Amino acid sequence: MEPPPLVPPPAKLGWLDALRGLAALVVVFDHSSYTFMADFRQELMPHFNTSRYGIMVFFLVSGYIIPASLERRGCVRTFWMGRIFRVYPLWTVVVLALLAANFLGVAELHDFGGQSAVTAVVAHATMLQELLGTPNVLLVLWTLSYEMSFYLLVVALFTVGLHRHSAAIAVTLAVLSAASVTAGAVLPASALSGLVGTDLLIVCASIVMGLAICCASAGSPALRVLGGVLGGVQALVLVPFNGTVPLWEGLLILAVMFLGTAVHRAENGQYTWRRTAAAAVLVVICAVGSAYWSAADHHFARRGWILAFLLAVLTFAVGLAWRGRRVPPMLTGLGTISYSVYLVHPLLLAVIDGTIGRRRHDSPVLEVAFFAALLPVCLLTHRCVEAPGQALGRSLAARVRPSRTGR
């Protein structure tokens, strides 16, 4: 007898769409305030880190839905096809648009230093560039490197049959995060790149990732396990030892995503709510402790991070409590286009900064006008780029013969 689907019907996921939409708006405000409300931003950030709030909500939502998507399919091959056609089409369009804007002289690219264009392109193509010593062509792309690492870990756990241990994994990663605060203070950012060289690391990581995805998607059970383990080990090496965020925060990001998975398991009867709540409390304690004991010389920045994290967890909890109730269509619609909102807004800001320039004084009117201009553009990119890409991915996945695994 086939087990019931692990993903609830779309109508029951409205609260997740609402959270995605809210998180996207907060991230947009965080970045657009540099241009339109710099003074207000400078006053706000020490008390409330809007960027970390938004991305932690995103990570909790991803943790809830991504493993469920894989387990519902029961097939690594179709999972990767779904992810590729979900993430890459819009990513490609936005990056190409930025390159075109740079060529026309209306936007500037980040300085890649002495890194060659080829290795920078390869690093971005893996979507692990943040963890491969490569500056992000768009700043927001750094979070996608952690998303990709999470995909690799989820596939690894699924192929070896350990995917049901989400709560224990979340707590373990959170404890390691707290334990690594001292090491993180002395470990330089992108430590592996400094040790072996960025170019060599990119080449090796790209090959390993390609092999991991291909093998994990193969028909042979032994190859699937090999591919899963390869990808999982790569993620566990790159996240703590080659990210640009502190070591403790990289581990905590993974812990937060697995906490989202634990919540999903509790909702579907695989865990007790008491077990999930205990895991959540431990993750929060480790997160607050890690943030408090790190950055000891930057009290206000530390306080802003802690408040943002706590509010992100609270926001997710409120959304969870709201599940099953009717969510306003405006919020679910905003969640539907949230990926476009997340990727398109820095492109528009780059063009504005490269042409008009940043405001010397706060201008709430221009801030609101930016949102008013952004959302219709994102609705267009969703309909013209995202939706067709997802439809193509579903069509191709439907033709693939499933190779099931996971115990």
pLDDT in tens, 341-366: 999 999 999 999 999 888 888 899 99
Least confident segment among 48-52, 184-188, 249-253: 184-188
With both helix axes pointing from N to C terminus, report the angle between 387-398 and 76-103 in degrees, rounded to the nearest 10.
Answer: 150
Mean pLDDT of the chain: 90
pLDDT reported for residue 109? 85
Place 9 in a pLDDT band, splitting at 50, 70 and 90.
very low
pTM above 0.75, yes or no: yes
pLDDT reported for residue 126? 96
pLDDT reported for residue 172? 97
Structure confidence by residue, pLDDT tens digits, 70-121: 998 889 999 999 999 999 999 999 999 999 999 999 998 877 777 888 999 9
pLDDT reported for residue 154? 97
Least confident segment among 183-197, 256-270, 292-306: 292-306
Average confidence (pLDDT) over 152-177:
96
Average confidence (pLDDT) over 287-293:
91
Least confident segment among 95-104, 180-189, 376-385: 180-189
pLDDT reported for residue 186? 64
Neighbours of 373 (CB within 10 A): 11
Structure confidence by residue, pLDDT tens digits, 35-76: 999 999 989 988 899 999 999 999 999 999 999 999 988 899
Residues of the chain above pLDDT 70, percent: 93
Average confidence (pLDDT) over 145-150:
98
pLDDT reported for residue 346? 96
Q: Domain locations in the chain? A: 10-398
pLDDT reported for residue 361? 86
Question: Per-residue pLDDT for 194 more than 90?
Answer: no
Which residues have C-beta within 8 Å of that of residue 231, sequence separation ≥ 6?
A: 152, 153, 155, 156, 208, 209, 212, 213, 216
